Chains A and B, each alone.
Chain A
Amino acid sequence: MSTLAATRDIILPLEPLGLNMSSRLPMHAAHLDLLEAEALFILREVAAECRHPVLLFSGGKDSAVLLHLAYKAFHPERIGFALLHIDTGHNYEEVIAYRDRMAERYGCRLYVRHVEDSIRNGSVRLRDPLESRNPHQSVTLMESIAEFGFDACLGGARRDEEKSRAKERVFSVRDEFGQWEPKNQRPELWSLYNTRVEPGGHLRVFPISNWTELDVWQYIQREDIELPELYFAHPRQVVRRGEVLVPVTRLTPAKAGDVVETISCRFRTVGDISCTAPVPSMAGTLSEIIEETAQCLLSERGATRLDDRAAEAAMEQRKKEGYF
Chain B
Amino acid sequence: MNAIATPAKSTKAGGLKHDESLSGLLRFITAGSVDDGKSTLIGRLLYDTGNVASDQLASILATSQKRGLAEIDWSLLTDGLLAEREQGITIDVAYRYFSTARRKFIIGDAPGHEQYTRNMVTAASNADLAILLVDARKGVVTQTRRHAYLAHLLGIRELMLAVNKMDLVDWQPAVYQAIVDEFVSFVTRLGRHHVQAIPLSALSGSNVVARDQSVSWYRGPTLLEYLESIPARRDAGLASLRLPVQRVARVMLGNGADGSTHGEFRGYQGTLASGTLRPGDEVMVMPSAQRARVAGIKIGEQSLAQAAMDRSVVVSLDRELDVSRGDMLVDPREPPRVSKELVADLCWLSEQPLQPRGKYLIKHTTRTVQALFAELDYLIDVNTLARHKGPETAHMNDIVRVRLKLQQPLLTDAYADNRVTGSFIVIEPVSLNTVAAGVIV
Return chain A residues, CB-CB under 8 Å to B49. 16-18, 23-24
Asked if B177 is an interface residue, CB under 8 A from chain A, the answer is: no
Q: Using an 8 Å CB-CB cutoff, how does the interface string of A2-21 with B read, 1 for contact, 0 for none?
A: 11111111111110111101
Classify chain B: how many residues form its interface, as a range.
35 or more
CB of B433, distance to nearest CB on chain A (Å): 6
Asked if A186 is an interface residue, CB under 8 A from chain B, the answer is: yes
Q: Using an 8 Å CB-CB cutoff, how does the interface string of B257-280 with A read, 1 for contact, 0 for none?
A: 111000001010111000000000
Q: In residues 8-43 of chain A, which contact B (Cβ within 8 Å)? A: 8-14, 16-19, 21, 23-38, 40-41
Return chain A residues, CB-CB under 8 Å to B265. 76
CB of A251, distance to nearest CB on chain B (Å): 25
Asked if A127 is an interface residue, CB under 8 A from chain B, the answer is: no
Asked if A210 is an interface residue, CB under 8 A from chain B, the answer is: yes
CB of B244, distance to nearest CB on chain A (Å): 10
Complex Cα–Cα for A194 and B310 (A):
20
Contact flag A8-B70 (CB < 8 Å), given A14-B210, A47-B247, A316-B83: yes
Complex Cα–Cα for A24 and B53 (A):
12
Return chain A residues, CB-CB under 8 Å to B267. 76
Stretch at the interface among A157-165, A258-266, A278-286: A157-165
The one of B54, B81, B258, B423 that contacts A163, using a Cβ cutoff of 8 Å: B81
Q: Using an 8 Å CB-CB cutoff, how does the interface string of A284-309 with B read, 1 for contact, 0 for none?
A: 00000000000011110111000000
B349 with A48: CB separation less than 8 A: no
Contact flag A33-B246 (CB < 8 Å), given A44-B269, A189-B121, A297-B54: no
Contact flag A196-B420 (CB < 8 Å), given A12-B61, A41-B246, A76-B265: no
Return chain A residues, CB-CB under 8 Å to B106. 210
Q: In residues 13-66 of chain B, which contact A (Cβ within 8 Å)? A: 18, 20, 23-25, 44, 47-56, 61, 64-65
Complex Cα–Cα for A19 and B71 (A):
23
Asked if B114 is an interface residue, CB under 8 A from chain A, the answer is: no
Q: Using an 8 Å CB-CB cutoff, how does the interface string of B95-115 with A read, 1 for contact, 0 for none?
A: 111111111101000000000
Asked if A131 is an interface residue, CB under 8 A from chain B, the answer is: no
B210 with A77: CB separation less than 8 A: no
Complex Cα–Cα for A196 and B265 (A):
30
Q: In residues 356-383 of chain B, which contact A (Cβ within 8 Å)? A: 363-364, 366
CB of A78, distance to nearest CB on chain B (Å): 5
- B255 nearest in chain A by CB position: A78
Q: In residues 104-149 of chain B, which contact A (Cβ within 8 Å)? A: 104, 106, 118, 121-122, 125-126
Asked if B283 is an interface residue, CB under 8 A from chain A, the answer is: no
Return chain A residues, CB-CB under 8 Å to B94. 166-167
- B250 nearest in chain A by CB position: A77
A9 with B423: CB separation less than 8 A: no
Complex Cα–Cα for A37 and B299 (A):
9
Asked if B92 is an interface residue, CB under 8 A from chain A, the answer is: yes
B50 with A19: CB separation less than 8 A: yes
Asked if B434 is an interface residue, CB under 8 A from chain A, the answer is: yes
CB of A175, distance to nearest CB on chain B (Å): 12
- A186 nearest in chain B by CB position: B434
Inter-chain contact count A-B, CB under 8 Å? 254
CB of B41, distance to nearest CB on chain A (Å): 12
Asked if A198 is an interface residue, CB under 8 A from chain B, the answer is: yes
Stretch at the interface among A55-63, A66-74, A85-93, A114-122: A66-74
A31 with B363: CB separation less than 8 A: no
A187 with B434: CB separation less than 8 A: yes
Complex Cα–Cα for A10 and B234 (A):
42
A31 with B103: CB separation less than 8 A: yes
Complex Cα–Cα for A5 and B64 (A):
13
Asked if B312 is an interface residue, CB under 8 A from chain A, the answer is: yes
Return chain B residues, CB-CB under 8 Å to A40. 271, 299, 312
Return chain B residues, CB-CB under 8 Å to A78. 255-257
Contact flag A27-B48 (CB < 8 Å), given A41-B312, A192-B425, A198-B432: no
B269 with A187: CB separation less than 8 A: no
B97 with A76: CB separation less than 8 A: no
Complex Cα–Cα for A64 and B246 (A):
24
Q: In residues 263-318 of chain B, which contact A (Cβ within 8 Å)? A: 265, 267, 269-271, 298-301, 310-312, 314
Return chain B residues, CB-CB under 8 Å to A189. 121-122, 125, 423, 425, 434, 437
Asked if A250 is an interface residue, CB under 8 A from chain B, the answer is: no
The one of A2, A192, A301, A312 that contacts B363, using a Cβ cutoff of 8 Å: A192
Q: In residues 405-434 of chain B, which contact A (Cβ within 8 Å)? A: 419-420, 423-425, 427, 432-434
Asked if B190 is an interface residue, CB under 8 A from chain A, the answer is: no
A190 with B419: CB separation less than 8 A: yes
Contact flag A159-B91 (CB < 8 Å), given A2-B70, A24-B50, A41-B271: no
- B265 nearest in chain A by CB position: A76
The one of A17, A36, A162, A312 that contacts B209, using a Cβ cutoff of 8 Å: A17
Complex Cα–Cα for A57 and B270 (A):
25
Asked if B249 is an interface residue, CB under 8 A from chain A, the answer is: yes
CB of A90, distance to nearest CB on chain B (Å): 24
CB of B87, distance to nearest CB on chain A (Å): 10
The one of B44, B99, B425 that contacts A13, using a Cβ cutoff of 8 Å: B44
Complex Cα–Cα for A129 and B301 (A):
47
The one of A14, A35, A165, A214 that contacts B25, using a Cβ cutoff of 8 Å: A35
Asked if A197 is an interface residue, CB under 8 A from chain B, the answer is: yes
Return chain B residues, CB-CB under 8 Å to A165. 80
Asked if B88 is an interface residue, CB under 8 A from chain A, the answer is: no
Asked if B72 is an interface residue, CB under 8 A from chain A, the answer is: yes
CB of A163, distance to nearest CB on chain B (Å): 3
| 7 A–B pairs (Cβ distance < 8 Å), ordered by A | A3-B70, A5-B70, A13-B205, A73-B312, A76-B258, A182-B81, A312-B82
Q: Which 4 A-B pairs have the closest CB atoms?
A: A18-B50, A163-B80, A302-B55, A30-B24
Q: Using a CB–CB distance below 8 Å, which chain A residues touch chain B?
A: 1-14, 16-19, 21, 23-38, 40-41, 44-45, 47-48, 71-79, 107, 159-160, 162-167, 182-183, 185-192, 194, 196-198, 209-210, 212, 214-215, 296-299, 301-303, 312-313, 316
